[in-house]
Amino acid sequence: MRGKRLVVGILSGIFVIAGSVSTSAKSNTYTMPKVSLSKTVVANIALKPQSSSQLTDYVYDTVDPSSPNYHQYLTPGEFASQFGRPTTDINDFKSYLGKYHLKASVYPGNLAIKVVGTRKNLIRAFNAKQVKVSKKDYRTKVKLPAKLSAQTVSVIGVYATKPKSKKTSLAVTPSLPQNPTPPNTDLSKTSFAKKYGALKFADHYQVSDLYKQGLTGQGQRIGIIAMDDFNAKDVLKYWQQTGVNADPSRINKIYSIDGAKTGHLILSMGLNPAQIESTLDVNQSGAVAPDAKIDAYIGLSLKNVTSTTSSYYTAFMQAVSDDRDKQISTSFSPNTELASQWEQGASASLGEYNDAFNLLLEQAAVQGISVFRASGDYGPRELALKQFNHVFSTSPYQVITGGTTLPYTRITDGRLITIDKERAWGDTYSNPQTKPANYGGSGGGFSILNPTPRYQQGFSGVNTFRAIDLLKYKRGGFLVNKDPQIIIGKGSGRNVPDVSANADSYTGYATYVSGQDLAYAKDGKTVISVPVKQWTVNGGTSFVSPQMAGANAVMNSGTTSPIGFWNPQIYQFAVQADSPFTVLDDADNNNNLYYTGQPGKLYNQATGLGTVNFAKLYTKFSSEGAH
């Protein structure tokens, strides 16, 4: 998942997707379509709640059985009355922005305003000016009238000049660790699902026990936050192959920036990694919860007319404020947590954007929405840099899902590799390189943006760590240390991940995509297209997050009120008798490329609380009063 950090500039590149493919023998000359880019930009104003402390307290109260607010979830309208900005304040913003011919609409909940208009009018309304903040970096300084500014947390998506991304970001496109062996599609549906599909996850983590109770996600909807479109027919083919309910009405697309026309245009222009990511997010969540419906919120802006940060925030805020889905998953991210990698010229600093996102996720929690996000696929360094960095966001108001490796034995390049029990995913052994390279592993470590949340404070293993320096940074990648040293230490901040599940491509899952494979002809100028139908076996925490969201939908289908905000609950469950978690605390052969297990402790930064027994977790949630 290289963070699923997406700079949507698909018109400017040709993607060649490797893997097991079925292609037509006939290729066609491909002409790049002429398109008209949108003349309008979408920006967002994140607003201060009436009381930040009262909002946070209510978030925790909703999942505290001793509180009178336990499971007293609010609708967006109720949230607006209790925590959002008053209507008079919203009208003040609308009136001001209207003077500059900008369309302003408030998201239900009154915590944010969506602003649509031309770049020129946005610059005028926000008095946007480019300012230098360091020798190489600059940002857009905005200025609103004092009364409006006092109510504002962050202005997202306003640029004094056209938004640009750091050069390093151009290499950071969604990528999935891939098993070189394709799936065997001749297997029966059940056998295929057990080897490559949802039943592999469901059987191993006891979701199947809930199926036996008649819980299949009926009556539930799962929200997927995606930054590219996908072919619904690819999802249906995957579901059919795995024996899952393949009713087309299960899939609903909501375009939050550019519309379906742009989505279809992008799909016609060749397979790309972001399309594959969006596809698997939908097919995995819907396969684990075979009777749930899927709402895919697609934040796509052709050629980045609306910035990546604004597109991502818009899609997420719309999903939360629509309040259709009681579980939301994302495997995409607009960036990492490093300020040095933040979008050049952005009106919202990384810290301001993080504040806005935390408020968005607090609204989700108050509405009873469980949010899941993938932790990343490159250990503690999502970008190949010397400094540790994690995918955005590490907010404490979501379940961050890490990765493991299931037991396997295989011969690779004449070497026998044996994994005898489930371990943290951190693979330097299957294909070591002599030159700087990137290695797959579960994202995990310490947030540099968010402090240690209440539920982690004082918890066994939190803010302490055991590590092994397996990798040495060299520009562009990492070398495997021949004599790695053990490091024992302390950390601070929000510890990630929270829980983990299988994410190694060598023990991974199948996915299916179709489209046009674009490549240059021998003359190096002509572009040719070949129809492609592709089955691959992949890994990554990108699978874990939607699978967990699907499992949550299965549990929610047996409750009278939504489970809601997991984290304060699961950290309590982890210390109770009959814990629903299997702690992966081994010190040896159990790391995410850096952090290892902490023997005898309940938490580590490689796998969090460990793996989940969903049958036990459902019982725990039920005993807390959710049933």
289-333: per-residue pLDDT in tens?
999 999 999 999 988 899 999 999 999 999 999 999 999 999 999
Contact by Cβ (8 Å): 237, 534 = no
Q: What is the band of 180 on the pLDDT scale with cuts at 50, 70, 90?
A: confident
> Which pLDDT belongs to residue 528?
86
Contact by Cβ (8 Å): 187, 195 = yes
Q: What is the band of 625 on the pLDDT scale with cuts at 50, 70, 90?
A: low
Domains belonging to the chain, first-starting first, are 2-35+168-626 (3.40.50.200), 41-165 (no CATH)
Structure tokens at 491: 């950390």
Structure tokens at 496: 């990630």
Q: What is the band of 177 on the pLDDT scale with cuts at 50, 70, 90?
A: confident
* Cα–Cα distance for residue pair 184/537, rounded to 1 Å: 10
Q: What is the band of 179 on the pLDDT scale with cuts at 50, 70, 90?
A: confident
CA angle 464, 399, 458 (to 5 degrees): 30
Share of the chain above pLDDT 90, in %: 81
* Cα–Cα distance for residue pair 163/397, rounded to 1 Å: 29
> Which pLDDT belongs to residue 3?
40
The mean of the pLDDT values for the chain is 92
pLDDT in tens, 53-102: 999 999 999 999 999 999 999 999 999 999 999 999 999 999 999 999 99
**Residue 174 pLDDT greater than 80, yes or no:** no
Structure tokens at 575: 């210390």
Q: Which of 605, 383, 325 is nearest to 493 (CA)?
A: 605
> Which pLDDT belongs to residue 414?
84
Phi, psi torsion values for 554, nearest 5 degrees: -60, -45
> Which pLDDT belongs to residue 516?
86
Residue 232 CA: distances (Å) to CA of 217, 221, 255, 435, 553? 20, 16, 14, 40, 21
> Which pLDDT belongs to residue 106?
99
Non-local (6+) Cβ contacts of 510 within 8 A are 183, 192, 196, 197, 238, 241, 535, 536, 537, 538
pLDDT in tens, 265-281: 999 888 889 999 999 99
Contact by Cβ (8 Å): 551, 289 = yes
Helix (H, G, I), strand (E, B) or coil at 369: coil
Phi, psi torsion values for 94, nearest 5 degrees: -60, -40
Q: What is the band of 164 on the pLDDT scale with cuts at 50, 70, 90?
A: low
**Residue 22 pLDDT greater than 60, yes or no:** no
> Which pLDDT belongs to residue 18?
34
**Residue 453 pLDDT greater than 50, yes or no:** yes
Within its chain, how far is the Cα of 431 from the centroid? 27
> Which pLDDT belongs to residue 19?
36
